[in-house]
A and B are shown apart, each in its own frame.
Chain A
Amino acid sequence: MARCYKGRFALYKWPALNPAGFFTSGTGFEFNQSEYRAWKYGKGLSDFAASMPDDYQRNMLAHSQGNAVVAAAFRDYNLAAATWVITQGAIPISCYDDDTAHLVFPHTSPDLAANMGYRGYLKDEVSAKVVNFFNTRDRVTGQRWEANQSLFKPTIELVGITRIEYKHYAGSSEVRLQKFFNSVLLSDRTVSDLHESMAMIVKSRSKAIGQGATTAGEVNVGVDMYADFSFDNEHGSQWNRAIQENLTLYFQRLLDEIE
Chain B
Amino acid sequence: MKSNNNRYWFIPLLLTAAFVIAFFLWRQKSGPDTSGQTSSAPASKLATPSPATTPAPVVNVTTPMVDPIYEAVKAEREQKLRDMADAPIDFFGKVVDGKGNPVMGASTFYIVGSFSFEGSPTLQGPATDAAGLFSITEKRGPDFSIRVEHSDYYKTSSADQQFEYAHKAYVPGKEPPSPPTKGNPAVFVLKKKGLAEPLVHHQRIKTKLPMNAAPVTINARSGQAGGGNEVISITMRSDGDKLPLNTFHPFDWSVTIEASGGGIVERSDALDFEAPADGYVTQQTINMSASLPKDVWKSDIQRDYFIKFGSGNYGRVRLNISGDTGRSIAEVFLNPTPGSRKLEFDPNKVVQSP
Chain A contacts to B: CB under 8 angstroms: 15, 20, 23, 25-29, 33, 36-37, 40-44, 54-55, 57-58, 72, 75-77, 80-83, 99, 103-106, 116, 127-129, 136-140, 142-144, 146-147, 150-152, 155-164, 177, 179-180, 182-183, 189-196, 199-200, 205, 216-217, 220-221, 232-236, 240, 256, 259
Contact residue among B36, B111, B171, B247 (Cβ-Cβ distance under 8 Å from A105):
B171
* Known A221-B300, A256-B327; contact A163-B67, beta-carbon cutoff 8 A: yes
Bound complex: CA A98 to CA B118 (Å): 31
Bound complex: CA A58 to CA B244 (Å): 12
Of residues A54, A189, A216, A220, which shows the largest number of chain B Cβ atoms within 10 Å of its Cβ? A220
Q: Are B77 and A216 in contact (CB under 8 A)?
A: no
Interface residues of B in 26-84 (CB under 8 A from A): 26, 29-30, 35-39, 41-42, 45-50, 52, 54-62, 64-65, 67-70, 73-75, 77-78, 80-81, 84
Q: Are A179 and B30 in contact (CB under 8 A)?
A: yes
Supplied contacts A128-B248, A138-B119, A157-B58, 5 more A-B pairs, CB within 8 Å: A27-B74, A103-B171, A106-B172, A161-B26, A233-B145
B245 interface residue per 8 A CB criterion: yes
Instruction: Please give, as numbers and ranges, the residues of chain A lying within 8 Å of B62 by CB-CB distance.
Output: 159-160
Q: Are B171 and A192 in contact (CB under 8 A)?
A: no
B2 interface residue per 8 A CB criterion: no
Bound complex: CA A100 to CA B41 (Å): 28
Interface of B is mostly: loop
Instruction: Please give, as numbers and ranges, the residues of chain A lying within 8 Å of B57 by CB-CB distance.
Output: 33, 36, 155, 164, 177, 196, 199-200
Chain B contacts to A: CB under 8 angstroms: 26, 29-30, 35-39, 41-42, 45-50, 52, 54-62, 64-65, 67-70, 73-75, 77-78, 80-81, 84, 111, 113-120, 122, 142-143, 145, 162, 164, 166, 168-172, 174, 245-249, 294-295, 298-300, 324-325, 327, 329
Instruction: Please give, as numbers and ranges, the residues of chain A lying within 8 Å of B245 by CB-CB distance.
Output: 54-55, 57, 82
Using CB atoms, name the residue of chain B closest to A177.
B57
Interface pairs A-B: 9 shortest CB-CB: A234-B119, A192-B50, A37-B36, A162-B30, A76-B41, A233-B119, A160-B29, A216-B295, A158-B64
Bound complex: CA A130 to CA B80 (Å): 36
Q: Are A240 and B118 in contact (CB under 8 A)?
A: yes
What is the minimal beta-carbon distance from A165 to any residue of chain B, in angstroms?
8
Instruction: Please give, as numbers and ranges, the residues of chain B lying within 8 Å of A191 by CB-CB distance.
Output: 54
What is the minimal beta-carbon distance from A188 to any residue of chain B, in angstroms?
11
Instruction: Please give, as numbers and ranges, the residues of chain B lying within 8 Å of A72 by CB-CB distance.
Output: 41
Q: Are A127 and B249 in contact (CB under 8 A)?
A: yes
Q: Are B41 and A220 in contact (CB under 8 A)?
A: no
Q: Are A158 and B70 in contact (CB under 8 A)?
A: yes
Q: Are B143 and A143 in contact (CB under 8 A)?
A: yes
What is the minimal beta-carbon distance from B47 to any residue of chain A, in angstroms?
5
Q: What are 24 A-B pairs with beta-carbon distances under 8 A? A: A40-B37, A75-B45, A76-B41, A127-B247, A128-B246, A128-B247, A140-B117, A143-B166, A147-B84, A156-B70, A159-B62, A160-B26, A161-B65, A164-B58, A177-B57, A183-B69, A189-B55, A190-B48, A193-B47, A196-B56, A196-B57, A232-B122, A235-B119, A240-B118
